Amino acid sequence: MKDVVTIKEIARQLNVSPSTVSRALQNHPRISSHTREAVHALANQLKYLPSTTARNLQRGRTGVIGMVLPEIRENFFSEVINGVEELAFEHQVTVALYQSHDRFDREKQILTVLASNRVDGVLLSVAKETQQIHHIQELLDRQIPLVLFDRIPPHIAAHQVECNMEKGAYEATKWLARRGHRRIALLNGPHALIASEERYRGYITALVEEGLPVENALIKRSDLTTQETALKMNQLLSSATRPDAVLTFNDYVALDAMQVCRSYGLVVNQDISFVSFANLPLNMYLEHPPLASVEQHPYQIGFMAAEILLNVINGVIAPTDLQKVILEPELIVRQQDAIS
């Protein structure tokens, strides 16, 4: 492997000091035009590339931000990554990407690794198992800039970017009610996620406004796995007050729940209708996707979270000037159901 060309090598060949070469490469006015031209010419000839690592170390930085999320395979988080990388690339910042796989212990270990490697900042969407926040608070106590996005734990003072899930659930439930559905179930996520509670509040508010009863038997929580979703959907279908529509935590939960309905011989979106969150692109290829889905704008969430983090790192935003961005959801209607 060819040796990396350094400033010292350029200085040696031109018989000048390394500091002179460094200043010449930055076009410092104290360096004569003759020397600057000679340095740039030799640097181009030797294919010299400036060391980003060295430059960052001079500024007391690593040039790396950590990003921790539950699962890359989920389209929502893939889109968030696209938003983060767009801005990070523009600012020549490296993104160290980690998956918690929705495990608290893994998330805790990742944050420890990122802190020990002195990353410039962290973007975090918590695992569904996360119910304690001491490991997150430790990051803040070390004065490492942190922005929480999408899955945000309660009772923590940090920058946040999310979509208004309460409004999304409210609009989705109202949409179903106005199409004649009277027994609307909620197949929600874990208690530990603020987003689950936001969905619950929006759902309840809409039922009350539409004069529909709030029935505990129609409200189920899933840990978002296929197995747990199937169990809870079976419970809904076995209930004396079987629902005629279901609002689900996201499209993945909806698709798992639909499979259960088919095993009962039910025709999806005729015998029982579905509305969900996430607006997955794959739905356009399905014969019977959810009737509607709440668009959460993941790309914008990622871009804005990265923007806040970089502004904190660069001193544009003071660490104590906490930013909370809440994007407006959009109910994307794909088709009308048989009740309409």
Structure tokens that stand for 114 in this block: 């990122």
pLDDT value for 1: 46
Mean pLDDT for the stretch of residues 33-38:
90
- What is the chain's mean pLDDT, rounded? 91
Cα 290 to Cα 254: distance, rounded to the nearest angstrom: 7
Give a three-class secondary structure readout of 79-136: HHHHHHHHHHHHCCCEEEEEECCCCHHHHHHHHHHHHHCCCCEEEECCCCCCCCCHHH
Helix axes of 298-313 and 75-90: crossing angle, nearest 10 degrees: 40
In the chain, the DSSP E strands lie at 64-69, 94-99, 121-124, 146-149, 159-163, 184-188, 219-221, 245-248, 273-277, 292-295, 324-327, 330-333
Structure tokens that stand for 337 in this block: 């159901």
- Bridge pairing between strands 292-295 and 330-333: antiparallel
Is the C-alpha dihedral spanning 156, 160, 165, 167 positive or negative? positive
Cα 101 to Cα 265: distance, rounded to the nearest angstrom: 34
Is residue 118 pLDDT above 50, yes or no? yes
pLDDT value for 264: 95
Cα 272 to Cα 266: distance, rounded to the nearest angstrom: 7
pLDDT in tens, 218-229: 999 999 999 999
Mean pLDDT for the stretch of residues 301-326:
94
Query: Can you list the domains of the chain with their CATH numbers?
Result: 7-50 (no CATH), 60-162+298-327 (3.40.50.2300), 165-296 (3.40.50.2300)
pLDDT value for 53: 55
27 closest CA partner among 43, 13, 14? 43
pLDDT in tens, 119-140: 999 999 999 889 889 999 999 9
pLDDT level of residue 160 (50, 70, 90 thresholds): very high
- 275: β partners: 247, 292
Structure tokens that stand for 253 in this block: 């939960």
Q: Quick one: how far is CA 78 from the chain centroid?
A: 8
Cα 43 to Cα 40: distance, rounded to the nearest angstrom: 5
Q: What burial class does residue 108 get, using C-beta atoms within 10 Å of its C-beta: 0-12 exposed, 13-18 middle, 19+ buried?
A: middle
- Within a 10 A sphere around the Cβ of 300, how many other Cβ atoms? 16
pLDDT value for 251: 93
308 closest CA partner among 163, 165, 120, 160? 160
CB 283 within 8 A of CB 289: yes
Is residue 24 pLDDT above 60, yes or no? yes
In 155-279, the DSSP E strands lie at 159-163, 184-188, 219-221, 245-248, 273-277
Is residue 291 pLDDT above 90, yes or no? yes
pLDDT in tens, 162-212: 999 999 999 999 999 999 999 999 999 988 788 899 999 999 999 999 999
133 closest CA partner among 163, 115, 158, 160? 158
pLDDT in tens, 296-311: 999 999 999 999 999 9
pLDDT value for 51: 63
pLDDT level of residue 2 (50, 70, 90 thresholds): low
pLDDT in tens, 68-101: 999 999 999 999 999 999 999 999 899 999 999 9
